[in-house]
Amino acid sequence: MPKVVFITIDGAQRVVDAHPGESVMAAAVRNGVPGIIGECGGSCSCATCHVYVDADFSAAVGGPTEMEDDLLELGAASERRDSSRLSCQIAMTESFDGLVVHIPEEQ
């Protein structure tokens, strides 16, 4: 089962198991990861699951869709970066095992 490493603003790490096909947001919520809210339940309509994908995984994970890009631009409470993604839009695969995402200061 692939793992996701969540890093908080203070540098604390939380490693959780994610089922293949499960979104990074769903894995975070299921495991009680602080800082990932997911108010919309993963329907790409709230931007409360904003993360910064670590540089080592950016190319593999890819960039945001047009709708995701709009939400990040207009709805994200924290700074938008090139590595910004909505974690509800990242589906885990075995090849993403060890994926590192940084949680912004606020959602």
In a domain, 107, yes or no: no
Determine the Cα–Cα distance for residues 90 and 25; give it in Å rounded to an integer: 8
Read off the CATH number of the domain in which 80 is found: 3.10.20.30
What's the domain count of the chain?
1
Question: pLDDT tens digits, the chain, 107 residues: what are they?
Answer: 999 999 999 999 999 999 999 999 999 999 999 999 999 999 999 999 999 999 999 999 999 999 999 999 998 999 999 999 999 999 999 999 999 999 999 99
Nearest to 66 by CA among 86, 42, 38, 50: 86
Query: Residue 60 is part of which domain span?
Result: 3-102
Nearest to 9 by CA among 66, 56, 79, 68: 79
What pTM does this model have? 0.96
The CA angle 39-41-43, to the nearest 5 degrees, is 110
- What is the DSSP code (8-state) at residue 88? G
